[in-house]
Structure 1
Amino acid sequence: MNGRSVRLWQDKWFLSIPAGKLTPIGDVRVSRNMRVSTMISETSGNWDIDAIKPLISVEDCDAIQDTCIGDILRDDRIVWPANRNGKYSVEFVEHLLLSCPWVEPIWFGDPLNYRVNRTNVSNLPAWVSSFFGSNLGSKEELARILSYVAFTCWHIWKARCNFVFDNKSISPNQVIMSIFTSVNGFLGASRTPEGRSQRVQTALVPPACWSPPSPFFMKLNVDAS
């Protein structure tokens, strides 16, 4: 990306902040046609944002610094982001679900109150497996925690897709409420009124089998759909 066709203040050019674009602090007039390329050093190929630092928040500044520039000799285009070595891999998933600045308040704000430590996240499967080796209490508590982990990842991905494809802004508070609703619905549907898992209960019930109706009765099966 060389940034020559992307407007710095108008276009949605990165996903690490909810708005998708920079927002100047206070009542500051900025050039609508200022290009992202003006923030890339021609000599080093790295970000050079000293000129706009006083105009943006710390979160926006960090988001820019965390954004990979790529090949500055190529024109701007929409791609699946690559790693620093230029190879495409699932490491983007770890960044999207755990490391983006806009997802941190979601992990910390939902009932897990989880603060993501980026240095301890090597890959997503290993991170999820780490919960099984932790002393989290009973099996029911572990199931509750893993339910929140699963639905948090899913709703983060859903919010990202709505942002990219439907141009909908991302609201961490709304995502948290959606996670809470999904987990409560899932756990409620997974348990009987006595609090036992449906999986355990159905295992004790013999499988249903067909039997003919009583004499002088006729049985008629219909498709209600």
Structure 2
Amino acid sequence: MAPSVNVILKNPLLRTLSRMMFSLPTFFPFQDMDAEGKDFLKRRGRWSVGRGTEIDIWKDNWVVGIDNLGRHGEGQTRRGEGWDANRIKELFPGNIAELINRTPISLINKKDNFVWPYRLDGQYSVKSGYHSAKEEKDTKEEIKFNKASTMHRILPVNINLYQQRCAIKPSCSICQGENETVEHALLLCPWTRAVWFGSSLQIAPTANNVSSFEKWMIDTVRKIKSGTRKEQDRILCKESAHFSANKNQSRIEQLATEYHNITEGCSTNNIPRADRYRERRRITWRPPPQNRLKVNTDAAYHRKTGTAASAVVIRNWQGKIITGTTSRFTTTSAIAAEAQAYREALIIIKNLQILNCIIETDCLPLVQAIKARMPIAEADAIIRDILQLLDEFLDVGAT
């Protein structure tokens, strides 16, 4: 039997390895779908992790940023709460283990929920399904065409033109150093190598790691997928098509200039300022009524590393601090970090039995989602916890 996601959860109540059949929630119109449609929803949708018992750890999509994991190993879990970081490190390579630890998980609601990541609210719609299916189809066709073109050696590189007596010499018309093969034109020419390195992929092809374009592309796609970049196939085929379509000297010189400009200050400018520092702004704290407490939450998130920090402060109407907490963690987005801080505040309120209080956050999308009782796809598990906790404390106000 295939293990479910609870095999890597630290929850003493969830030690079963039983695997149930995949099922879609009621808001997905699967009753009238054929097998291909159901497979599409399963392939493109994503699970929000609660207990983990409804999710196949290897076959289902549940880690934010990548598709299904494929099989790497199986095992038991130890007691506790949340992700079992040590067990995850044993089962998965470093980059995947890091993403699993970032994936939000429910601590209160603990129900697995299938979400549609192509809408903000996680709800499937025919329109979003159509665009997702079309994008998937277009990407496959682009990759298929590029593979066929190179595998059959039909690209008009000089070596092919020379063999067909359509070119005077087989050497590269740009660098004049090597014969212009497919590998040289798309990967190994000094000019195109500079462009590859300056692109969003930041790849440096060399004669040592390129034996054939076909093998290089397959290996690169595999590495990109393991690195969890979104739309990886589309990125790759667009990059390769871009190089083969722009052969004129002026364009190459422009790309080389851009490459040098990008790499010149890479040591100091590789992290956007917006990711290093939060915007400084004046904040005025407003006291609650005399008979109430105010709970303020805030979070900071670093997109490149996935690290986040949250703070919760509880004060009375005079501004005196009653209690508070801070924490550091990894997550998938800024909204998920803000939601986690909000959930932490509610857990403190519940544990301390604080009645008649107000929770305040500066994250407007989160407040709107809570008041509308509409989860956000990227923080679905956390927001469902928040809604359940708010139902238990009706005298807690959310602003």
Structure-2-length-normalised TM-score: 0.20
Structure-1-length-normalised TM-score: 0.32
Structure with a larger share of its residues in strand: 2
